Homo-oligomer: A and B are copies of this chain.
């Protein structure tokens, strides 16, 4: 799945900024690919991009309209159809991150077929994957893993890619979720593949490369999340990372979506990931710990980071507060 750049970001009638989280990720990490935003009446999200109509965006060279919002229930509103249809008529592709597929809206599907345009529904893999082999392959790979869902695995991976590129290293972010795929312009939604092919999809996403190249792979879920651990393990085996970065959110009262269920300790989570990772990557090691300290005061955050670094003998960063240079130094 590959998206053509540059993008017009479609914000529809997003009720608030949170509903535009995916779009905001693209605007933050790939500002250079975003030529503008389109907001319908009632839209309360704003990415600070130039306001463009579909026709203006097409005239300025946009190649894809990114529908980067989460509607209630993940469905497509009727009011979106006319502008999205116009985009297809003007030769643009569509990409959507909703549960409901843009390609299943009859009018859009028909227009895309007639105009030879592509509709990418990034939550839904558009191809089959092989069964994983587990064979060692060349190239360097790092995977972000976590104590829970939504603890900063994507953000940390993107920050590491960014830092590496700034240093002139050859690095590519490899996306495994909808927001990541829109940011990267490609990838595989690994939690949406058939269970037998999770590791195979991860191998496909991070193919053999040369020893000067780093794939920075976005992790999913947690080995300790009872709903999603199978995805996390298949991704860990398939990505075959030589390095993992453990991500954590210290203020969370329970595992995401599961009141009463405690998060694992950093130590238990680290050990479980290293033990499982050895199945396909015998020399796997931890390159650092990434903690989202947004919910903590500066002094508490700083002491948590330094205490954790000391306890584990590893770089411990908050990608936002401190950057990830200490982790990249170690690689």
Interface residues of A in 211-238 (CB under 8 A from B): 223-224, 226-235, 237-238
How far, in Å, is A194 (CB) from chain B's closest CB? 6
| A134–B261 touching, CB < 8 Å | yes
- Check if A249 is an interface residue, CB within 8 A of chain B: no
- Check if A195 is an interface residue, CB within 8 A of chain B: yes
| B199–A190 touching, CB < 8 Å | no
CA distance A196 to B226 in the complex (A): 11
> Total interface residues on A, using CB and 8 Å?
37
| A230–B227 touching, CB < 8 Å | no
Interface residues of A in 259-287 (CB under 8 A from B): 261, 272, 275-276, 279-280
CA distance A235 to B258 in the complex (A): 18
Interface residues of A in 185-208 (CB under 8 A from B): 190-196, 198-200
- Check if A132 is an interface residue, CB within 8 A of chain B: yes
| B200–A190 touching, CB < 8 Å | no
A238 contact set on B, CB distance < 8 A: 226
A194 contact set on B, CB distance < 8 A: 191-195
Identical copies of this chain, number: 2
- Check if A296 is an interface residue, CB within 8 A of chain B: no
Q: Which of B200, B224, B235 contacts A227 (CB 8 A)?
A: B200
- Check if A298 is an interface residue, CB within 8 A of chain B: no
| A198–B199 touching, CB < 8 Å | no
- Check if A307 is an interface residue, CB within 8 A of chain B: no
A230-253 Cβ-contact flags toward B at 8 Å (1 or 0): 111111011000000000000000
- Check if A115 is an interface residue, CB within 8 A of chain B: no
How far, in Å, is A258 (CB) from chain B's closest CB? 6
How far, in Å, is A291 (CB) from chain B's closest CB? 22
How far, in Å, is A252 (CB) from chain B's closest CB? 16
Q: List 5 tightest A-B contacts by C-beta distance, closest first.
A: A134-B226, A230-B234, A230-B230, A191-B196, A198-B230
Give A residues with C-beta under 8 Å from B: 131-135, 190-196, 198-200, 223-224, 226-235, 237-238, 257-258, 261, 272, 275-276, 279-280
Selected A-B contacts with CB under 8 Å, 25 pairs? A132-B226, A132-B227, A133-B226, A133-B227, A134-B226, A134-B227, A134-B258, A192-B194, A192-B195, A192-B196, A193-B195, A194-B194, A195-B198, A195-B230, A195-B231, A196-B231, A199-B226, A199-B230, A224-B279, A226-B238, A226-B279, A229-B234, A230-B237, A272-B275, A275-B275
